[in-house]
Amino acid sequence: EDQVTQSPEALRLQEGESSSLNCSYTVSGLRGLFWYRQDPGKGPEFLFTLYSAGEEKEKERLKATITKKESFLHITAPKPEDSATYLCAVRIQGAQKLVFGQGTRLTINP
């Protein structure tokens, strides 16, 4: 069964304290891995797409990387405004839908 697991469920950091969020996937053929940011009570906001192992994408303090089994969202010197839930999703071969993980709730304390 295609599965996406994110860890940790919640992460609390001090402002400026860098860390990484993990997204592990077991799928029958990856057609893309997607990272989203979701603020409370709002729809997810698209961040990155990764297609193959070794690929990296960056945006401001965020950097996404991917291997054959997992993806990481690295956050460097985070600020309080980076607090949100980060969602990972995969598209599998032959399917139109995305399979989502449960998300990591990130809190950055000033």
Partner 1 sequence: DGGITQSPKYLFRKEGQNVTLSCEQNLNHDAMYWYRQDPGQGLRLIYYSQIVNDFQKGDIAEGYSVSREKKESFPLTVTSAQKNPTAFYLCASSRQGRFYNEQFFGPGTRLTVL
In the chain, the amino acid numbered 84 is A
Say if CB 87 and CB 44 are below 8 A apart: yes
**What is the rounded CA–CA span in Å between residue 17 and residue 75?**
9
54 binds partner 1 (CB under 8 A): no
28 binds partner 1 (CB under 8 A): no
Q: Which stretch binds partner 1 (CB under 8 A): 11-19, 21-29, 60-68, 96-104?
A: 96-104
Q: Which stretch binds partner 1 (CB under 8 A): 15-23, 62-70, 72-80, 95-103?
A: 95-103
Q: Which stretch binds partner 1 (CB under 8 A): 11-19, 22-30, 40-48, 62-70?
A: 40-48
64 binds partner 1 (CB under 8 A): no
Nearer CB in complex with partner 1: 34/71: 34
Which residues of this chain interact with partner 1, rule CB under 8 A?
Answer: 4, 31-32, 34, 36, 41-46, 49, 51, 87, 89, 91, 96-103
